[in-house]
Amino acid sequence: MSPRTDAAERDSLLQGTLDLLILRILALGPHHGHGITISILTRSGDTLLVDHGSLYPALQRLEQRAWIKGAWGVSENNRRARFYSLTPAGRKQFALETTRWNRLVESIARVMEPGPTPESA
């Protein structure tokens, strides 16, 4: 994944972060690969661009784990496309990963707060 603006400012996200973003988009409803990319880009305020070289291996990985399922259909451009949706196991995994992500963000925010570090008792 990279920001759309400048290649020198590329953000690299961990594999698990991309998985979480894909699960989030699919929690909103079925999408084809390009639709997932556009949704992540749009929801991130045009900051996160998912390269196809990262997206499709992630989709295959999530499908192998049975967190998503794919089915062939026709896109809005009248082209054949593989549409992905969450499975019940994927919904459960999304909830688990969301909890982990929130805990990580809160922990990092505490470390980043100004002021002295509290001493352990």
Cβ atoms of 17 and 25 within 8 Å: the answer is: no
Rounded to whole angstroms, what are the CA distances from 80 to 31, 77, 117?
A: 13, 9, 56
- The residues with which 70 forms a beta bridge, in sequence order, are 84
Maximum Cα interatomic distance, the chain, rounded to a whole number of Å: 64
Domain range list for the chain: 11-110
DSSP state of 22: H
Please report the sign of the dihedral spanned by the C-alpha atoms of residue 50, residue 54, residue 91, residue 94: negative
Q: Which fold has domain 11-110?
A: Arc Repressor Mutant, subunit A (1.10.10)
Query: pTM score > 0.85 for this model?
Result: no
**pLDDT per position as a tens digit, 69-120:** 999 999 888 999 999 999 999 999 999 999 999 999 999 999 999 988 777 6
